Amino acid sequence: MRDVRGKLAVVTGGGTGMGRELARQLAATGCHVALCDVSLATMTETKALCEAEAPAGTRVSLALCDVSVEQEVLAFRDAVRAVHATDRIQLLFNNAGIGGGGSLIADDRAEWDKTFGVCWGGVYFCTRAFLPMLLASDEAVIVNMSSVNGFWACLGPRTAHTAYSAAKFAVKGFSEALITDLRLHAPHVRVAVVMPGHVGTSIVMNTNRVLRNGDFASMSAADVGRVRGVLRLRGLPVDAMSDDELRAAMQQMAIVFRDHAPTSAARAAAIILDGVRAGAWRILVGDDAVALDRAVRADPSLAYEERFMQALQAEGHMQLIG
């Protein structure tokens, strides 16, 4: 699928980050785009950006949808059919994701289940829902967003990361299994799995909004206490900080994560779309993703040891993680 002009792409999590940049770059080539997200405000911004750069006649639609809820996904699919007056799509970007639920032991189950539900359930529900529309096309591509945490299940030896990692491993395994399934039963449809490293997005801020219904300033004392415990395990000097100081520090850390990443969201989207056009099924995003993939493959038994992370950081990778 080297030319996406006139095609229809569905992009989940299209309000910010890689979802926004995928939508912008697709629309700029004349590809119609159907966005969903849990934030109408950010989606509206994305739609305006797309329309400002797109050729005349390019359609951009948006719909509120929590991809962890199957009924909302089905309603989104029906809206795409109605708004775009079609029974087929050519591209499905299962991009929506949040963090949270780091520890199976120390964290709240609802937070764990929500993170897993968005990051894995969203991929499954959207693929199921849109599959008939993909099959109805002459050619189509399913693009599933995994992560380096789909082959390396932590953020360093001092940070538990179980819900997100488990979900991203599931996305990677599902995508690889679909290679054979599609080849046997729908050879005109293919799948690509994307594994980004640290990309500059608002995932930290968005996670807090989804899981805690607000920004860092409104975090409850109980949530601040859990964050304090996580940061303490990472060796950060947080015990002398007040709750409000810690809230402000979390906000600043989220900004640094977004604004000082080694790979921008725009660059990540370009790498993903280049991979899709080239027919790649496995797309690593960022030098850190390439280095991490190489290191895990070289000696998996060391992947969760302190010296593994130290070696990566000595090479200049994972500086803001762990």
pLDDT per position as a tens digit, 69-119:
999 999 999 999 999 999 999 999 999 999 999 999 998 999 999 999 999
pLDDT per position as a tens digit, 260-279:
999 999 999 999 999 999 99
Give the pLDDT mean for 299-314: 95
DSSP string, 46-80: HHHHHHHHSPTT--EEEEE--TTSHHHHHHHHHHH
> 45-60: b or e for each residue (b if 16 or more CB lie within 10 Å)?
ebbebbeeebeeebbb
Please give the torsion angle defined by the CA atoms of residues 89, 278, 119 and 62, in that order, rounded to the nearest 10 degrees. Answer: -40
Beta bridge partners of 92: 10, 142
φ, ψ (nearest 5 deg) of residue 66: -95, 110
DSSP 301: G
pLDDT per position as a tens digit, 224-256:
888 888 888 888 888 989 999 899 988 998 999
Q: Report the pLDDT value the prediction gives residue 214, as an integer from 0 to 100.
A: 80
Give the pLDDT mean for 309-313: 94
Give the pLDDT mean for 304-314: 94
